[in-house]
């Protein structure tokens, strides 16, 4: 993006003071072409928040529905998949990586603005899972 705008920094990475470099190493930028940009933290992220919520709520065997469309949402989707702790869903306009993950795992894709349909589907799946 910076290259396209002809806005490359004139200083090299070796010239950045160590204190700044250490801080920058904790930052997680994400750019979605023609859509959005995010600046997050590698130490404090959505996965850490979900884990903390499960801990605070004292949920020992969590199962979550993770819905989203971006890189930060994808991390939570992968976490629930890796830990067998839930399912993931995304709108059909989600980023390519998110849609690839969804189609490789739970295949729950919904139309833009129709989150209610996915919530009803998750509710029905939960009810079916509770049947003996």
Where in the chain are the domains? 60-129
* Counts of helices then strands in the chain (DSSP H, E): 5, 5
Which pLDDT score is estimated for 27?
79
Which pLDDT score is estimated for 92?
93
- 132, HSE (Cβ side, Cα atoms, 13 Å): 0
Which pLDDT score is estimated for 36?
67
- DSSP secondary-structure letter at 113? T
Q: Which region among 85-89, 115-119, 122-126 has the lowest average model confidence (pLDDT)?
A: 122-126
Q: What is the mean pLDDT of residues 72-83?
A: 93
Q: What is the mean pLDDT of residues 64-89?
A: 92
Please check whether residue 65 is in contact with residue 116, taking contact to mean a CB–CB distance below 8 angstroms: no
Parallel, antiparallel or unpaired: strands 86-91 and 64-67: parallel
Using the predicted structure, report yes or no on whether residue 47 has a pLDDT greater than 80.
yes
Using the predicted structure, report yes or no on whether residue 90 has a pLDDT greater than 70.
yes
Per-residue tokens: 72: 């930060």
């Amino acid at each position: 993006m910076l290259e396209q705008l002809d806005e490359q920094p004139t200083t090299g990475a070796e010239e950045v003071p160590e204190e700044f470099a250490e801080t920058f190493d904790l930052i997680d930028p994400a750019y979605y072409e023609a859509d959005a940009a995010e600046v997050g933290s590698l130490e404090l992220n959505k996965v850490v928040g979900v884990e903390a919520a499960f801990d605070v709520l004292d949920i020992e065997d969590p199962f979550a529905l993770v819905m989203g469309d971006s890189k930060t949402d994808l991390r939570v989707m992968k976490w629930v998949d890796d830990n067998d702790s839930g399912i993931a869903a995304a709108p059909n306009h989600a980023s390519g990586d998110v849609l690839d993950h969804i189609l490789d795992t739970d295949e729950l894709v919904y139309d833009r603005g129709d989150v209610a349909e996915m919530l009803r589907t998750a509710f029905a799946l939960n009810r079916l899972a509770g049947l003996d």
